[in-house]
Each structure stands twice: as C-alpha cells, then as structure tokens.
Chains A and B, each alone.
Chain A
C-alpha cells in the first residue's frame, strides 16, 4: 500500500477526512442494507407477526424472548441446523479431496490439451443453481432418469433418489459437489501452478519419492490456498438454498430441509416473520462465530483477510 504517509497533526482537517469521504458511499450502502436490516430483524424477532389488514408493524404484540425460546426447543430447526453442518462436513471434504486430485493431475506437464479439460470441467459453474437443481431432478427421475438407466444397466432395481429420505440427502450432496468442485479445482490449480520446480527437483535428487515430494514440499506451499478454499466453500455451503429449492423442496418430509430452507419456509410460506427473524439472527451469530474461528486459523499465513 503506497501513497500518502500517515497524516501528521499539521495536515488540515479536510485533508485528514479525505480517505473517509472515499469510503463513505460503500459504508453508507452497507449500513443501510445490512446493518439496518439486521437491527430491524432483531426488533422483529421480539414480536409476533399477525398479518391482518390495517395492523401496522408497531401494533403487533411483543413476545419477549419467546421466539428464541421456541427456536431452541424446535426440533425441526435443530435438525435443519444439523443437516447444514453435515452438508458442510461431507460436501466440502469430498470437494477438497476431488479438487486436489484433479487439480494436481491438470497441473502435470504431460497432460495434453489442459485448457480444453479445464473448460469442460468448469462448465457446471456456469449454470444457475436453480437450473442445476432442475437438471438433476431430470437425471435422478425414478422412471426415466439417465442415472436410473445406469443403475438398471448394472442389474439393480431403479432407485427413487428424490422420493426416499435415505437417498434425497445423498442427491443434494451429489449436486452440491457437481456444482462447486470446479471452483475448488480452478483455485487449487492456480496454486499448483505457482509451486516452483526447484524445491521439487532438489527433493528428487535427495531421493524422495513422489508421495513424499507431494506431502512435504508441495502441500506446505499450498496451505494458504487450501485454507482459503476451505473457508469460502464452508461459508457458501451454509448458504445452500437454490439447489434444495429446485431439487427436493426440502422433502421428502424434512429430510433435505437445511437451515436456510427452514428459515425460508417459516418466514415466507407460513409468514411467521417474527420467528423467521429470530432464526435468522441465530444463524447469523453461528456463521460469524465459525468464520472468525476459521479466519483465526488462516490469518497467520500469507493471506490478507
């Protein structure tokens, strides 16, 4: 960061305020559209919403901590939170493992047409999430889906992927992996390509085998990228909504209702806006706790955030 030195006491007030003037539009926007809604949601969380004609916001009854108490005893909400965490654990670890393998392969010199491979592998990222949910609903269909054609080809009975609780969550995980592993791959590929050759050759001369080189030379150099991918992907999995909406609509039963989808249903199909706000705040706090925890791990490295 070059540019002006820290303003000393002689610098005029106007000049000292200059940087803040530059920050003002962005900060104002974020205050109006994030901070104000969050405060507003907090107020709403202490109210019970009765949608009745002519009943204004301030006329609705206060319920104190009622909504929060309900939330922590609402087993469906706790289940939905559990599903979100389960999805983070399973999907992100598979994405990371698959992403490492594919990115490592693509970075090898003997792979021909690497640009073509990359374009083909990246293509799922270009599809709107709601469209990939639709697309996979088509592929998973029990009567005429392409995946069941494969299942039957191997002599098994067709599987009702989206209609049974056992398979529905599995399907969500598959789509999540299909949609987002490409992101993991390109980010890690950039990392693999930036690892210099010399240390690898030096290790080879010292008699290290390929696995040792990967584990002791390449991996430590990539730790920054890996942690960033882990952070970004975990935070994005928490946001999972579109795929569930288009693929299973949270069903069958509650089997694929993740936290975001549960909040959506409470707030916008049952119109419990007060309860929805309380749930939003609980989720907000959890997400910030996790992200600060993860950033605490990442920060000492060469990263900026």
Chain B
C-alpha cells in the first residue's frame, strides 16, 4: 500500500467516524427531547406533592419546592400526625386544610382487595380454558379462542348500563364483590391467552408420566403443569393487576364511599374552594408505585401481555 492511498484511507475513515459521531449526537438529542416530553409531567407531579399551595400556584412556576414538605402525604395517609392547632398558626397550608378529603388508607385497602380478589378468581376460572386451548384440538377450538380474545375489543361502556342495573337488582352495588366479578371479566381474555402461551412451552410428554401413574388430566395440570408454568402464572397475575388497578368507569358506578378504589378517590379532589392539587399529587404518586414495581418485575413479559394472542 503506498503512502498516498494510506493517508487517503485514513482521511476517509476519520470522515466517516466524524459523521457517525454527529449522527449519534443528533440521535441522543432527539431522545432527550422525547424523554422530556414523557417524563416531565411525572416529575412535575412528584414535585407538586411536596410544594406548598403558594409554591404551586406561583407564576412563573418553581421547578423545585423550597423545602420538601410531607404535609400532603401525612394528610392523605396519616392525618393523625397533623396537629390542627399548628395549622391555624399561619402555616402555608391553611387553604389546603380547609378541604375535607378523607384519608385514603381505606381506599388503598379496597383497591388491593378488589384487584387481588379479581386476579385470583380470574386465574382460577381462566387457567382451565388456557390449558384446554393449549392441549386439545377440538371442534370449535379456534372460534372459541378467537371469541374469548375478541371480548377485549369491546368498549366497557357498552355493557355498563346493563351491568349497573344487574348489580343494583342483586344488591351488589357498593360492595367489593360486584366490582370483583366485573374485573374478572376484563382479565379473562388476557389470562387465557397469556397462560396458553406459557402452557404451549411445556412439552406434553411431561404430563404423560402422570397418566402412566394413573393420574387424571386435572391432577397433571395442578401437580405438574402449573408448578412448571409458575413464572408465567406470576407474570399473568401481575399483568392483570396492571390492567385493573387503574380502572375507573365501573369502579365509579359500582362502589360507594366505603368501597371506593383509588381511581375513584382521584376523581374526587374537587372541593368548593377548588382542587387540592398538592394532596391529589401525593395520592397520585402513591397510586403509581405498585404499577412501577410491576413494570420493573415484568419487563419483556409485559409486551407479551399487552399484545396477548396477537402473535403466534
């Protein structure tokens, strides 16, 4: 290789490296803008939950509170730690303390009971169909599977009126049970299709050893298949939690003040004097935490759930 061509080559390489570097810089810059759009509102919510009303009503707004007050959290989750005599002494929170929002501890409990109960029930009901679709080839299996999946396309409002009327006539409005029954319905298509995909990965030969020992299919399912698919069961349960933790329409129709879930509480922060933004932000931050945890645990399985049944 001559000297001239070597330097030419080197120049071309450097040029290419510079171009790659420029392109990479542009790509990162675009990503930063995208991330700001998606993450900034959440940052804002987080900060508002620590601000005094004077701070969050200020214009131009302040990015960070002067001091990270836990007042809104205490008021929502542990109101007994607030000394009312101190409030009237001219703290920042007088206008906030005027709002009569009940502490949300019981509502978090409601959310856990209703979501937990419905996930357990949906798994108990749906796992059979998932196994059936995975292991048997029978007349109408394809149509049944498709029909189960298609129910997720239906807008919930379509059955809201009759379900409301049904629940009212059997006096299940205002109870946990009514809402649990409806949430099972929303989770079933996901349970069936996610669990089917996990069962498909388990070779049927494993169950045959149970049949040889004289066990039935149901025994094989409970003793062998489900323990093997346990990570899938956990993923499905978490995904179903993700689906129903945020449900609002039916929660608002079927619960009363004693059984209200978190999304219902979040829609109730309108007071005569306006909206309690700080306290609302604090409750929103807390309502976000379970789902954040689930998303971190699930990662890739979440995409599988969101597009359940769509891909072979």
A contact residues vs B (CB 8 Å cutoff): 1-7, 16, 18-20, 22-27, 29-30, 33-34, 36-38, 40-41, 44, 57, 98, 101-102, 105-106, 108, 110-112, 117, 119-132, 134-139, 143-146, 148-149, 152-153, 178, 181-183, 186-187, 190, 224, 228-229, 231-232, 235, 238-239, 241-242, 245-246, 260, 263-264, 267-268, 273, 276-277, 280-281, 283-284, 287-288, 291, 302-305
Could you tell me the distance between the alpha carbons of A288 and B150 in the complex, rounded to whole angstroms?
Answer: 9
Taking CB atoms, residues of chain A closer than 8 Å to B280 are 134
Could you tell me the distance between the alpha carbons of A135 and B173 in the complex, rounded to whole angstroms?
Answer: 29
CB distance from B58 to the nearest CB of A (A): 7
Contact A304 B38, beta carbon cutoff 8 Å: no
Chain B, interface residues (CB within 8 Å), range? 35 or more
Contact A29 B184, beta carbon cutoff 8 Å: yes
Interface string of B270-312 (1 = CB under 8 A from A): 0000010100110010011001100110001011001101111
Ranked nearest first, the 8 interchain pairs of A and B with the lowest CB-CB distance are A22-B132, A128-B246, A37-B162, A26-B129, A19-B136, A3-B135, A126-B291, A19-B138
Q: Which of B149-179 contact A (CB under 8 A)?
A: 149-166, 169
Contact B161 A277, beta carbon cutoff 8 Å: yes
- The closest CB in chain A to the CB of B251 belongs to A130
Could you tell me the distance between the alpha carbons of A187 and B159 in the complex, rounded to whole angstroms?
Answer: 29
Q: Which of B23-58 contact A (CB under 8 A)?
A: 23-24, 27-28, 30-31, 34-35, 37-39, 41-42, 44-45, 48, 56-58
If the complex has contacts A19-B138, A130-B266, are A34 and B248 also in contact, measured as CB distance less than 8 A?
no
Enumerate 24 A-B pairs (CB-CB under 8 Å) in ascending A order: A16-B138, A18-B217, A19-B136, A27-B129, A27-B144, A34-B159, A37-B166, A111-B31, A121-B35, A123-B292, A126-B292, A127-B42, A130-B246, A130-B266, A134-B269, A135-B281, A138-B281, A178-B41, A190-B300, A231-B310, A241-B156, A273-B161, A273-B165, A283-B155
Q: Pick the contact of A138: B44, B160, B182 (CB < 8 A).
A: B44
Let me know if B90 is at the binding interface, CB within 8 A.
no
If the complex has contacts A19-B136, A128-B245, A277-B162, are A305 and B149 also in contact, measured as CB distance less than 8 A?
yes
CB distance from A151 to the nearest CB of B (A): 11
Taking CB atoms, residues of chain A closer than 8 Å to B135 are 3-4
Contact A44 B165, beta carbon cutoff 8 Å: yes
Contact A110 B204, beta carbon cutoff 8 Å: no
Taking CB atoms, residues of chain B closer than 8 Å to A239 are 155-157
Contact A121 B38, beta carbon cutoff 8 Å: yes
Contact A26 B128, beta carbon cutoff 8 Å: yes
Could you tell me the distance between the alpha carbons of A273 and B112 in the complex, rounded to whole angstroms?
Answer: 31
Taking CB atoms, residues of chain B closer than 8 Å to A268 are 160, 164, 253
Q: Which of B111-149 contact A (CB under 8 A)?
A: 125-126, 128-129, 131-138, 141, 144, 146-149
Could you tell me the distance between the alpha carbons of A25 and B275 in the complex, rounded to whole angstroms?
Answer: 45
- The closest CB in chain B to the CB of A132 belongs to B41
B contact residues vs A (CB 8 Å cutoff): 20, 23-24, 27-28, 30-31, 34-35, 37-39, 41-42, 44-45, 48, 56-61, 125-126, 128-129, 131-138, 141, 144, 146-166, 169, 181-182, 184-185, 188, 192, 200, 203-204, 217, 245-246, 248-249, 253, 262-263, 266-267, 269, 275, 277, 280-281, 284, 287-288, 291-292, 295-296, 300, 302-303, 306-307, 309-312
CB distance from B125 to the nearest CB of A (A): 5
Taking CB atoms, residues of chain B closer than 8 Å to A101 are 30
Contact A23 B128, beta carbon cutoff 8 Å: yes
CB distance from A97 to the nearest CB of B (A): 13
If the complex has contacts A23-B144, A44-B165, A241-B249, are A264 and B266 also in contact, measured as CB distance less than 8 A?
no
Could you tell me the distance between the alpha carbons of A2 and B202 in the complex, rounded to whole angstroms?
Answer: 10
Contact B161 A44, beta carbon cutoff 8 Å: yes
Q: Pick the contact of B309: A178, A187, A304 (CB < 8 A).
A: A304
Taking CB atoms, residues of chain A closer than 8 Å to B154 are 34, 284, 287-288
Could you tell me the distance between the alpha carbons of A304 and B275 in the complex, rounded to whole angstroms?
Answer: 47
Q: Pick the contact of A149: B61, B163, B287 (CB < 8 A).
A: B61
Q: Pick the contact of A41: B132, B161, B217, B246 (CB < 8 A).
A: B161
Contact B161 A135, beta carbon cutoff 8 Å: no
Contact A280 B311, beta carbon cutoff 8 Å: no
CB distance from B138 to the nearest CB of A (A): 4
Could you tell me the distance between the alpha carbons of A228 and B262 in the complex, rounded to whole angstroms?
Answer: 31
Could you tell me the distance between the alpha carbons of A124 and B43 in the complex, rounded to whole angstroms?
Answer: 11
Taking CB atoms, residues of chain A closer than 8 Å to B263 are 128-131, 242
Taking CB atoms, residues of chain B closer than 8 Å to A231 are 310
Contact B59 A144, beta carbon cutoff 8 Å: yes
If the complex has contacts A19-B136, A178-B38, are A110 and B248 also in contact, measured as CB distance less than 8 A?
no
Contact A38 B312, beta carbon cutoff 8 Å: no
Q: Pick the contact of B312: A126, A186, A302 (CB < 8 A).
A: A302
Taking CB atoms, residues of chain A closer than 8 Å to B155 are 238-239, 260, 283-284, 287
Contact B161 A276, beta carbon cutoff 8 Å: yes
Taking CB atoms, residues of chain B closer than 8 Å to A36 are 162, 166
Q: Pick the contact of A143: B45, B59, B151 (CB < 8 A).
A: B59
Contact B157 A280, beta carbon cutoff 8 Å: yes
Taking CB atoms, residues of chain A closer than 8 Å to B291 are 126-128
Q: Pick the contact of A30: B38, B131, B151 (CB < 8 A).
A: B151
Taking CB atoms, residues of chain B closer than 8 Å to A2 are 203-204
